[in-house]
Amino acid sequence: MMELVDMTALACTEKIRKGEISAMEALEAVLSRIRAREDALHAFLTLDEEGARRQAEAIQKKIKSGELTGPLVGVPFAVKDNICTKGIRTTAGSRILENFVPAYDATAMENLRKAGAVLIGKTNMDEFAMGNTSETSFAGAVRNPWQEDRSAGGSSGGSAAAVAAGECFAALGSDTGGSVRQPASHCGVVGLKPTYGTVSRYGLIAYASSMDQIGPITKDVRDCAAVYDAIASHDPKDATSNTRKRDALSYAEGVEGLRVGIPSEFLSESLQPEIAQAVRTAADQLKAAGATVEEFDLGLCNAALPAYYTIACAEASSNLERYDGMKYGLRASGESLSEVYRQTRSQGFGAEVRRRILLGTFALSEGFYEQYYLKALKLRRLVRDNYDRAFGRFDVILGPVAPETAPRLGGQTEDPVRAYLADIYTVAANLTGYPAISVPFGRDGQGLPVGIQLSAAAFREDLLFRAGLVLEENHKVVEHYGK
């Protein structure tokens, strides 16, 4: 029989709402899975068992009195450690914030609390969300639940590993260039990067503000839609938050008549053949369900990555100026003020973060600004124009999430450029601001999960859920890996 922790979030809350189990039982089940697996996986940076028990008790009362009835009541969930949680340490995976305890909740976090979900802890990640293997955390790497010598993907690797291993029912990640979708893909779970501005960034520790977006990581598409629905809201505290009123989510309509496009460039030789095959199989399944599928030339595919890294580093260099040892976080000692700055930042930031601050400062400096930063902004615009044209012809674009399945741990840290190349399929959604989802789609010859990416025009998450559901139902992908 399937263990409770291997069920979806919606299945778990249904049992809670019907009174078959209590919120506390759901929590204890998850905590016992954590005890069994966490030493090996290292998905969490902070666990709050006592706090979670208090929440579960309080929520149970509200369920009884009928005050809380939503689809996520009582569900134990985890949050990436760059999302602020009131009274609970939030490190962003960095030594510089090792002891930082926020005085407030991020809006997405607050929304989940209102929905009655139970926060169990904060998940491990690449330092300041810079990376795609979850190896640059000050506390050490996350391991992939499928094969522990593999990366869980990044930068939200802790969230994806925790969901895949049944250490929680759902989690939040953040995605600036693929950090929700890639770990979801490598761990065999679902990850959504919502339309920019639909989920508030208030309380999300900034990496590249024009692209950062919080998104759900879940066991299946229905859970993903439910978490998305709970966290998306207009928020006056985020100046880029969207005021558009969202339509009620209906993802049960199927894909009859849906126009699906596959960029031919995506299926190049550098793509692992099993992933290319998975994209083709997914296309066949969508076709069999009533969609039309066509390959087309998207164009400018090679421009997205350099534009992304130039803009991301530029914004990061500016966003990370605040860590100077004065306001909060680590403060090193030094003889003079500038020595304190220098020591704090040298000791507090890891190598990858320092590299990006240097690159970004360079791209923004006088004399190079036009040559790099401004050019990257122009490319960004061209990439978006291309996607707008494509979304005139197609409702959904289908493709891979990453060029390879989960890499071996330690393989990429020596070669940053090779690591950056793994983002080739994911960064466009952040440059454009449009939504994209990663849906698990079987495994490769080594038994590692393969993910499929679907993207759509702004605010069309509904299309992603509809198409994602068809792929998921055909594949019955909700398998779990508890030991």
Q: In the set 129, 161, 227, 379, which binds ligand GLN (CB under 6 A)? A: 129
Asked whether position 63 contacts ligand GLN by CB under 6 A, the answer is no
Q: Cβ of residue 207: shortest distance to ligand GLN, in angstroms?
A: 6
Phi, psi of 417 (to 5 degrees): -65, -40
Task: Print the binding letters for residues 270-309 with ligand GLN: x by CB under 6 A, - otherwise.
Answer: ----------------------------------------
Look up 86 and say whether it is catalytic. no
Coil, strand or helix at 304: helix
Asked whether position 469 contacts ligand GLN by CB under 6 A, the answer is no
**For residues 387 and 264, is the Cβ–Cβ distance under 8 A?**
no
Q: Any idea which residue has 């339309």 for tokens?
A: 195
> Which is catalytic among the residues 94, 156, 179, 200?
179
Distance CA 122, CA 156 (A): 11
The residues in 141-160 that bind ligand GLN, with binding defined as CB under 6 A, are 155
Q: Which of 288, 350, 430, 323 is nearest to 100 (CA)?
A: 323
Q: In the set 124, 151, 179, 185, which binds ligand GLN (CB under 6 A)? A: 179
- Measuring CA to CA, how many Å separate 262 from each of 4, 29, 242? 38, 42, 29
Q: In the set 178, 188, 203, 325, which binds ligand GLN (CB under 6 A)? A: 178
Q: 398 pairs with which residues across the strands?
A: 454
Q: 396 pairs with which residues across the strands?
A: 260
Q: Cβ of residue 312: shortest distance to ligand GLN, in angstroms?
A: 5
Look up 80 and say whether it is catalytic. yes
CA 292 centroid distance within chain: 29
- Binding window for ligand GLN (CB under 6 A); candidates: 123-131, 143-151, 282-290, 370-378: 123-131
**For residues 182 and 154, is the Cβ–Cβ distance under 8 A?**
yes
Q: Cβ of residue 153: shortest distance to ligand GLN, in angstroms?
A: 9
Q: Provide the residue type at 136 as one letter.
A: T
Here the tokens at position 472 are 């998921």
Asked whether position 455 contacts ligand GLN by CB under 6 A, the answer is no
Asked whether position 78 contacts ligand GLN by CB under 6 A, the answer is no
The set of residues, in sequence order, having a beta carbon less than 8 Å from that of 249 and lying 6+ positions away, is: 225, 228, 229, 461, 462, 465
- Binding window for ligand GLN (CB under 6 A); candidates: 116-124, 172-180, 404-412, 431-439: 172-180
Asked whether position 399 contacts ligand GLN by CB under 6 A, the answer is no
Please identify every residue annotated as catalytic. 80, 155, 179
Binding site residues, ligand GLN, CB under 6 A: 129-132, 155, 175-179, 207, 312, 423
